[in-house]
């Protein structure tokens, strides 16, 4: 009986952990998904200067080669607004009457009159406003060097606390001339920026709509 009770308790604990699992933090290996740099031709000339491993001596360290790191200061602030107003007003009036005809007494047309009027008006207003503010810092890795010297960078940061995981991903193309002292570059000077900030866990699930609610939202006509 004691063994059965222990087995039942273990199954109950396993069921509880299954119903409320912890979202995992993806641990990347040191060399995972990093392109290998092109090997420079080995020249056994005993020279100090090697083109494939060139590092300026009298210059602050900055990213140059595949595998180097660079700090990105994410400062994205985008706002847009649009307003439109339309007004149309049109009116018309028409009146007609008969006073006399040959061979007919004039008083026979005392009530022979016609009148009409029309009016048409339209008024429309519309406005659109969008604002986006994002700031942060992430250290990315150089994943490629283009023919013109521009650097392709990509970085990812994951922070797991209790049952929540915060994921930040960044990628873009950096002009080496935009790199500031300290090996930093603002995101506003990076081309083809891709920023993704998402969460996994209880908080992210609470902000989503369940599958049954989504079904009814798609089926209901209103």
User: Residue 112: inside a domain, yes or no?
Assistant: yes
pLDDT digits (tens, 9 = 90+) for 87-97: 888 887 777 66
Cα first-last separation, the chain: 58
- pLDDT at position 71 is 94
User: Residue 88: inside a domain, yes or no?
Assistant: yes
User: Residue 7: inside a domain, yes or no?
Assistant: no
Q: Which residue's entry shows tokens 């847009």?
A: 80
- pLDDT at position 51 is 59
Alpha-carbon distance of 53 to 40, in angstroms, equals: 8
Alpha-carbon distance of 178 to 187, in angstroms, equals: 10
User: Residue 186: inside a domain, yes or no?
Assistant: no
User: Residue 76: inside a domain, yes or no?
Assistant: no
For 156, the 3-state DSSP assignment is: strand
Alpha-carbon distance of 109 to 100, in angstroms, equals: 7
Q: Are 71 and 139 in contact (CB under 8 A)?
A: yes
- pLDDT at position 175 is 93
The radius of gyration of the chain's CA atoms, rounded to the nearest angstrom, is: 37
Could you tell me which residues are beta bridge partners of residue 69? 141
For 169, the 3-state DSSP assignment is: strand
**Token pair listed for 183:** 């090996």
Residue 109, Cα to own-chain centre: how many angstroms? 76
**Domain housing 97:** 82-127
Low-confidence residues in the chain, pLDDT < 70:
1-59, 96-114, 116, 204, 207, 221-222
Alpha-carbon distance of 145 to 70, in angstroms, equals: 14
68: left (phi over 0), alpha (psi -120 to 50) or beta: beta
- pLDDT at position 150 is 93
User: Residue 109: inside a domain, yes or no?
Assistant: yes
User: Residue 214: inside a domain, yes or no?
Assistant: no
pLDDT digits (tens, 9 = 90+) for 121-140: 878 888 888 887 888 899 99
Specify the number of domains making up the chain. 1
**pTM of whole model > 0.75?**
no
For residue 195, count other CB atoms closer than 10 A to its CB: 16
User: Residue 166: inside a domain, yes or no?
Assistant: no
């Amino acid at each position: 009986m004691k063994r059965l009770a222990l087995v039942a308790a273990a199954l109950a604990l396993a069921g509880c952990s299954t119903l409320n699992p912890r979202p995992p933090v993806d641990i990347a290996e040191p060399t995972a998904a990093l392109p290998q740099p092109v090997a420079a031709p080995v020249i056994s000339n005993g020279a100090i200067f090697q083109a494939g491993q060139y590092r300026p001596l009298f210059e602050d360290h900055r990213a140059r080669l595949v595998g180097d790191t660079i700090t990105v200061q994410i400062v994205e602030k985008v706002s847009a607004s649009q307003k439109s107003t339309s007004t149309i007003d049109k009116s018309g009036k028409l009146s007609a009457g008969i006073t006399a005809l040959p061979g007919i007494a004039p008083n026979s047309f005392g009530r022979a009159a016609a009148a009409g009027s029309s009016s048409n008006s339209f008024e429309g207003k519309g406005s659109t406003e969008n604002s986006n503010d994002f700031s942060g810092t992430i250290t990315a890795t150089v994943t490629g060097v283009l023919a013109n010297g521009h650097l392709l960078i990509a970085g990812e940061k994951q922070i797991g606390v209790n049952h929540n995981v915060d994921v930040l991903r960044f990628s873009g193309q950096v002009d080496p001339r935009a790199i500031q002292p300290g090996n930093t570059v603002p995101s506003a000077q990076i081309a083809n920026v891709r920023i993704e900030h998402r969460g996994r866990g209880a908080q992210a699930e609470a902000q989503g709509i369940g599958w049954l609610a989504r079904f009814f939202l798609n089926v209901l006509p209103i």
